[in-house]
Structure 1
Amino acid sequence: MSAILLIEQVLNGLQFGVMLFLMAAGLTLVFGVMGLINLAHGSLYMVGAFAAAAVAGATGSFVLGLAAALAAAAAAGALIEVTIIRRLYARDHLDQVLATFALILIFSEGTRWIFGSFPLFLEVPAALSGPVTLPFGIEYPAYRLAIIGIGLAIAAALFWLIAKTRIGVQIRAGEADREMIAALGVDIDRLYTLVFALGAALAGLAGALVGALQSVQVGMGEPVLILAFVVIVIGGIGSIKGAFVGALLLGLTDTLGRTLLPVAFGTVLEPSMATAVGSALASMAIYILMAGVLIFRPSGLFGQS
């Protein structure tokens, strides 16, 4: 394998990782602050993708599509938090799982009713449609580089929000002792709605960004939701730093595994067998990584023991 191909796959892994971070950051905040298992988080990812595709298709503006994705996902998140999720905080996790699974079905059928069963397509903006020449003559898609840049910028903004702002202090305090911050006069209902809407907006943005790389269709959020849960298990529940590190580890492990393992097995097996075995192990690699982390750090890399 050439060095250029390896660098390209590393960049693909970073792009996949930052997309997973956008999903996992909101999920880990909701789980850490509210103690809520939200299976409907993937549906908010889907809402953002459909909103972006619909608005961009109607206006011809990709930027307006991204704005619509943020607004639609945040509004949907705030609405379901106020009307449904708020009644689940005091319930056990089984009730939360059943209720949020019902939300998946509602979102899926509602989206199908509004947009139909056929997929939508979101065009990459013209300014980012071509490749960029990187050092050593590497040609890499500008749009994928933009996703990496957006993800890193949002990660930095989230770190600043959590560490340096008053709302960040309230979020961190809410993770440690929800009853105490309520007793100190913090409007816990408003805080929960804000956190849920923020997490939903990040998921919607991830859906919109990925919508330009694949078709936008009903059910697209569920496979990504599974990976987001793996990320927060690896990184530690409630930790933004853990979500960031876990997402990058998972993205690189998955992408490089699918590239390198068939090549490695090709040195000892015939090509067809090497491809089959390497692809099978590559699909298992992220779960092997999760198991390895949990053996040595049961609470995750940055979780509180």
Structure 2
Amino acid sequence: MRTSLLAAFALCFLVVVAGCGVAGPTTGTVVIGVTSELLSGADMDRMRVVLRAGGEVVRDDVMTQKSGQLFFPREFFFSDLEDGTAVEISLEAFGAEDADRPLLVRTASTQVLGGRKLLLEVRLERECVVAPGAPTCPAPQTCVAGGCSAAGVDPRRLEPYSASWKADAVPDVCKPAGGGEPIVVVGEGQADYFPLEDLDEVQVEAGPQGGYHIFVATRIKNLRRSGSTTVVNGFVPDLGYTVEPLKVIFTLDQDEGGFCKLPGLRFRLDGERGIEELLGKVVEIEATVTDADGDTGTGKRKVTLSQTIL
């Protein structure tokens, strides 16, 4: 009798569970992955980014080359939103010559799928740059491959998000796939890279706003062209003097032999020490470059400061 009651109870429990079912995830994430054929600093100076979720603006700001924010590839997240929420990105790229008229406008939209983390790739293409006075794509269309297309993308067509998409998104002349370990070589030059050997003399120059400097240049391989941070450090052994570091984020220039270069790094020498104490002294220069992937390369060179000031 007892066994029969237990069996009946178990059967009823299974029926109830089967009847209720198990609810699936109700929230999801969409990652917008942005790449660009336009070079930051050369083609565009700033970019306005507007994100909308469910028709409401959730982000509206401007990224500039000067601040180091304007690099590609990069990601924008719509995280943990309800299933079916419409999400949209609007990008306006501006050149340095015209602060009011965008070079191009690119929009893209899709919907959140509950329990999924999706990648929506958006590319800023040269074919979509609009000449002054030329017509633009009528909303809600956007420019893709030089023509007007629908901005909306069916989320069922999107791939699952993986951080590895950035490595495959854009061939980088400064960081080709399988290129090897990062290489950083320290040289000199204001407008171009010129090689140095240890203890070569470099010219000390007076700065336009006070202070005295030398121009450091770097030659780089296997680090990203855009968004890489360069830090220059210096130490004068004879004086036990550490020069204040220089930190910049600039787009690299392509060079020969698979290398890229960054000339014109104005490295100020004086600070706690007057320039008279430094002339003719040896300075140990160290340049460290770190890209947006977190890869780092370091180059070192001992240079002799000139006895004169230009």
TM-score class normalised by the smaller sequence = under 0.3
Higher helix share: 1
State TM-score, norm by structure 2: 0.22
Higher strand share: 2
Where relative contact order (Cα < 8 A, 6+ residues apart) is larger, the structure is 1
